[in-house]
Amino acid sequence: MRDFSYLRATSVDEAGRLAQQAGAMLLAGGTTLLDLAKCGVTNPETVVDITHLAGLDMIKVDVTGATIGALAKMSDVADHKDIRDAFPAVSESLSLAASAQLRNMATIGGNLLQRTRCSYFREPGVFAACNKRNPDSGCSAIGGVTRNHAVLGTSEACIASYPGDLAVALVAFDAVVELGSRKVAVDDFFLIPGDTPDKETALERGEIITAITIPASTAARNSTYLKVRDRQSYEFAAASAAVGLEFEADGKTVRDIRVGLGGVATKPWRARAVEKALIGKVLDTQSVEKASRLAVEGAVSSGGNHYKIELAPRVITRAILTMAQNMGALA
């Protein structure tokens, strides 16, 4: 780790101006920044401390939805009673992420901006070719060990998977990222790699995430987050699903369904084809299994990650059926 300058911002506007400097990076919880600096992926020339900015740690829930400040801690959001009641999938996605120590430090804004856990990306001393780190240098993962890599949203330039949990729930429930002067839907905030995998989000230089807003909905209130992984703690998802359901007055026919998919794509993935196939239907095991397979249409295997094409629909099916059974709505 090399020497760097330390600056403390006193306002969001000042933080934005300081962040425009070449080589500047923001410091909030610091868990991702420190991690990337230690492995040599990031070498900031200037660290801009935003931890003392007033008002950015709010957690507000009312009849219209939730507003969560970018500096709110993961653990505080996960444990917030109103979040648990109105957006259980959001609470569960945070509770199942990282370790308790990290959740107590990491911020919501930082969580959204975490970088991939692709080992080829995180070992620059061993793998020089990585289009995320060094554009146009190639992708060392392609042809390598790919068990944890993406099968959806990939390109010839990058197959790294997005590692987060929270964003999977946010994309399912139409959350919006507030960037000061503009707002961007979470689904549009994260970008597929295409030919520019180094451009991971719609965030422009000098912009700062100030808050996340999530509109209230019946589906969000009746939601769950299912995470399947190699071990039960401190592990990233092999596949995950955020699911929310709303039924018609008969208690059986699907009025609204939301499905977010994680662990298998280059960004948090909205499984809209699954939703479309089940709206207006009465759920049973066969129909849910059939619809869930639509989530991996167009999936591309890179060898060791082929199992995810089978696993992802099963995770979606299990999440939907569990939620429907809990609501007494299975045919």
pLDDT in the model for residue 1: 55
pLDDT in the model for residue 309: 98
pTM of the model: 0.96
pLDDT in the model for residue 232: 79
pLDDT in the model for residue 231: 86
Domains of the chain: 5-49 (3.30.43.10), 223-326 (3.30.390.50)
The segments of the chain whose pLDDT lies below 70 read 1
Residue 307's CB: how many other CB atoms inside 10 A?
13
Cα separation, 88 vs 232, in Å, equals: 19
